[in-house]
Every structure is written in structure tokens, then in C-alpha cells.
Amino acid sequence: MIKNMARNNLLIRLGTALVAIPIVVGIFFINEKFVYLFLFFIGLGAAKELSQMSLCKKFQCYLRYVFVPLFLPILVVILWINVSNSLEIVMALLTVITVLIISIIFLPGEKLLPKSKKLVYIYSNFFGISVAFIPLLMQLPDGIICLLFLLAVVWTSDSGAYFVGNFFGKKKLAPRISPSKTFEGAIGALLFGFGMSLMFYKIFPLPLSLTQVIVLGIFIPIGAIFGDLFESMLKRKSNVKDSGRLFPGHGGVLDRIDSLIPNFPLVYVISTGVIP
């Protein structure tokens, strides 16, 4: 019976992926405004799930700890890209916004937040700032192909973790945070992700050097693992199994994007030539 349930869940996951992946990839080739609209809806879905995890019952609470830190960095980046296209100004504003938003929690008279709400607040900040790197990446020459490279490596890494973990997983990776994750699954994520990075480099006109691809092939899966673990910790502290049910077999928006969150800034930094 357990094997049948696992098989059914796998079929559901594959079906959802076969529908969702072409849609997501296609959006990046249609029009830049469609990407912004897509990010807006992703942000709304994430905000809804984070507000449920934070147990915010008042609109002011939701606005302060979820909506503003999640959306403000993205909106500022999009605005400045379309108004001045000055990357230095964008990065300076992002830094200021980060400091201002995080400092809210330490304002005089601010009550100490419960741990679950504090984690949601931190994640909202990190989510908003990280996703703001998507439009920045799109401004780079061949930035879209870099984004597709990131998606391919992360999705392959996640699949490697899922299959290797399910078939060979024995030693728990972080039992207090996510009992289902194993060391074997993490190794599968690293191997599958690294293999996909090299394959993508050979097949597609990726504007990155082999050294950059190797670095990203190693660190993207590692970032994906940590992103997944942090969201698992957030769910555990909030007593929820999945962040949502939007994607059958996969969970909610956060369940699907958690592995990408640490990697948007990473790919941007490497793509701008920090490592030749």
C-alpha cells in the first residue's frame, strides 16, 4: 500500500512538472512585462502562505512582517530598471531597504516576536531581496539563458535528491528539521545538479566560462539544499506539512521556490564576472 501511495505521488509530481515547466520557461521568452506579472503572482502566493505561517490575524501585522519586506525590493528594482537603468542605484537602494526592513524588528518599544513569526519575517526579507535579482539578471546580456540554466540545475538537483533519497536514503540529514531528508538524497542532489550544469554548458550557448559553470554546478545544489532546509524549519515551527496546495504533489509556492531563493543572487554575482 505504501509503495502504491509513493507511486501515485510520483505520477502526480511528474504530471504537475510536465505542465508547469513549459509554462514557466515560456513566460521568460514572451515579454519582460509578463515576467513582472508572473513575479507579482508568485509574490502574492508566497505572501499568502507566509501570512498563514506567521499566524498574523491583523492586517497591520501582515503588512509589516510579510507584504512590505517581500514586495518592496522587487518593486524598487523594477522601477529603477525601467526609469534609469542604473545598476549602482539599484544595488544601493537594495542595501538601504534591507537595513531598514531588518531594523524594524529592533525598534524601541517593539515587542519580542515569537520565534515562528521572527523566522517568517526573516524569510520574507530574504525572499523579496532574492527574487529582486531576477529582473537584474534579465538586464544582463543573455541573462535569460542564465536564468534557465539556474532553473534546470535546481530542478534536476531537486529530482536527484527525491529519487536517490527515496530509493537509497538511510542516514538522516537533519532529523529535527526535516526527517525525510537524507545524506544520500543530498549527494544525489549534488551529483544530478552538477551533471546538469555541465550538460547545459555543452548543449546551450551559455555566456559563462567553464570555471563559472563548475563553481555554480557545485554551489547551486548546496544553496538549494539549504533553502529547502530553511523552509522546512519554517514549516516545522509553524506546525504545517506543506506551505500550500497550489501544485499537486509538490505543495505550495514556497515549496517549489525554496531551492531557488538562495541561488538568484549567487547566479547574478557569478554572471557579472566576479569569477572569470
Q: List pLDDT tens digits, range 229-259.
A: 988 888 777 777 666 566 555 567 788 888 9
Return the percentage of the chain with pLDDT > 70, whole number: 66
**What is the b/e burial string over 164-198, where b = at least 16 CB atoms within 10 angstroms of the residue's CB?**
bbbeebeeebbeebbeebbebbbbbbbbbbbebbe
pLDDT at 227 over 60: yes
And the C-alpha cell for 100?
531598514
pLDDT of residue 193: 96
Radius of gyration of the chain (CA): 19
**Average pLDDT, integer, range 207-214:** 94
* Domain boundaries, given as residue ranges, for the chain: 31-139, 142-276
Give 41's Cβ-side CA count (13 Å radius).
Answer: 8
> Which of 89-103, 150-164, 224-238, 242-256 has maximum average pLDDT?
150-164
